[in-house]
Amino acid sequence: MADILPRLWFPLSAAAATTGIILLIRDYVHGERCPSKATMEGKTVIITGANSGIGKETAKELSKRGGRVIMACRNMDKCKEALDELVQETGNKNVHCQHVDLASFESVRKFANRINKSESKVDVLINNAGVMRCPHWKTADGNEWQFQVNYLSHFLLTNLILDKLKAAEQGRIINTSSIAHGHGKIKFDDINSKDKYDDVEAYSQSKLALVLFSLELSNRLEGTGVTANTVYPGVTKTNIGQHKLSKVDSVVTKPFMWFTLREPARAAQTGIYLSVAPEVADKTGKYWKDTVAIRPAPQGNNEEVAKKLWDLSLKMTGLPEDMTSNDQSKEEKTS
């Protein structure tokens, strides 16, 4: 035994050092944790797609911090299940499920009307729900699925409840995009991919639209105190790949997933930071990754395209042309 120990010392130390380095790299790959301990007591937050993945983890943390959390989901059974888990884990009973199906403008309008009636203010709106690379489906309104679910319905919802965000001490709008926005192009001549559908192109377009939305919205909200930012959560272990990941993919990629893909709780950190931190109260129109504002891809910084997209989005959602905010008469006109 005494002979073996000195011989094992080197391989064991090397193995321990390698493991340490791997864990450090993994931690780096998985991004920053929210550095702010700020509370959400007295604050109301709406999170779309809060029953799963990044949205659910965001809802959990904001509940833990004492917020009034409205989980805006399309499937009430899944929402209730997630709500029960949240209440049990956080002890916060001020968490609520509300129905919204982003594939239907009518559903978005009904949801917005309920919020406008029940809430005196909304402190944080997190436009998180999304779908990735689905087949060429059409929504109830005749639009390409990803463009409406990921972007257009969030555009509509945000505008319809904007007065509630303005009524907050300092309202915050957070749009969830993706690195895929960098491959995106807004196809003004074929926005719904009628001529040619490519699921990657359509996802990228929808995620670029969200970056441009934050840019234009932040300009329009200047002087109101309400901020609009975009987050990129990182590549994360969630259900978002459900339309594309084959069984073979899952088996082959699984061993690498532990190392490279983020846990949803980690991916949620930047959105949580933008929701709670006092130091970002005046940061607007920015693109965030790992709790730091970075430059989006060049096409995400194009103010001309952002304006053109805004005008098109007004037409497609049926909002009034001069809509920069939502007053009661405009809302009644559009509902």
Ligand X SMILES: NC(=O)c1ccc[n+]([C@@H]2O[C@H](COP(=O)([O-])OP(=O)(O)OC[C@H]3O[C@@H](n4cnc5c(N)ncnc54)[C@H](OP(=O)(O)O)[C@@H]3O)[C@@H](O)[C@H]2O)c1
Residue from 103, 191, 217, 305 binding ligand X (CB under 6 A): 103
Count of Cβ atoms closer than 10 Å to residue 281 Cβ: 12
**Of residues 151, 203, 232, 273, which has the active-site annotation?**
203
For residue 57, give the 3-state DSSP assignment: helix
Tell me if 265 contacts ligand X by CB under 6 A: no
Tell me if 296 contacts ligand X by CB under 6 A: no
Tell me if 131 contacts ligand X by CB under 6 A: yes
Half-sphere exposure of 246 (CA within 13 A, CB side): 3
> How far apart are the C-alpha atoms of 183 and 181, rounded to whole Å?
5
Q: Is 273 designated active site?
A: no
Tell me if 125 contacts ligand X by CB under 6 A: no
Residue from 74, 133, 164, 172 binding ligand X (CB under 6 A): 74
Tell me if 54 contacts ligand X by CB under 6 A: yes
> How far apart are the C-alpha atoms of 313 and 307, rounded to whole Å?
10
Q: At which residue do the structure tokens 């929701």 appear?
A: 275
Q: CB–CB of 243/133 below 8 Å? A: yes
Beta strand 68-73 with 172-176: parallel, antiparallel or unpaired?
Answer: unpaired
**Beta bridge partner(s), residue 138:** 144
H/E element holding 96?
strand 95-99
Please identify, using beta-carbon distances, which residue of 43 and 56 lies nearer to ligand X: 56
Size of the site for ligand X (CB under 6 A): 29
**Beta bridge partner(s), residue 182:** none
> How far apart are the C-alpha atoms of 242 and 211, rounded to whole Å?
24
Per-residue mark of binding to ligand X, 223-262 (x: CB under 6 A): ----------x-xx-xxx----------------------
Q: Least distance from C-beta 126 to ligand X, angstroms?
A: 10
Which span (6-14, 31-39, 73-81, 87-95) binds ligand X, by CB under 6 A? Answer: 73-81
CA 75 to chain centre: 18
Q: Which letter does DSSP use for residue 236 in this model?
A: B
Residue from 128, 214, 269, 291 binding ligand X (CB under 6 A): 128
**Quick one: 21 exposed, middle or buried, by C-beta within 10 A (0-12, 13-18, 19+)?**
exposed
Q: Least distance from C-beta 75 to ligand X, angstroms?
A: 4
Tell me if 55 contacts ligand X by CB under 6 A: yes
Please identify, using beta-carbon distances, which residue of 152 and 280 lies nearer to ligand X: 152
Please identify, using beta-carbon distances, which residue of 122 and 149 lies nearer to ligand X: 149
Please identify, using beta-carbon distances, which residue of 97 and 131 lies nearer to ligand X: 131
Catalytic residues: 203
Q: Residue numbers of the site for ligand X (CB under 6 A)? A: 48-49, 51-55, 73-75, 78, 100-103, 128-132, 149, 176, 178, 233, 235-236, 238-240
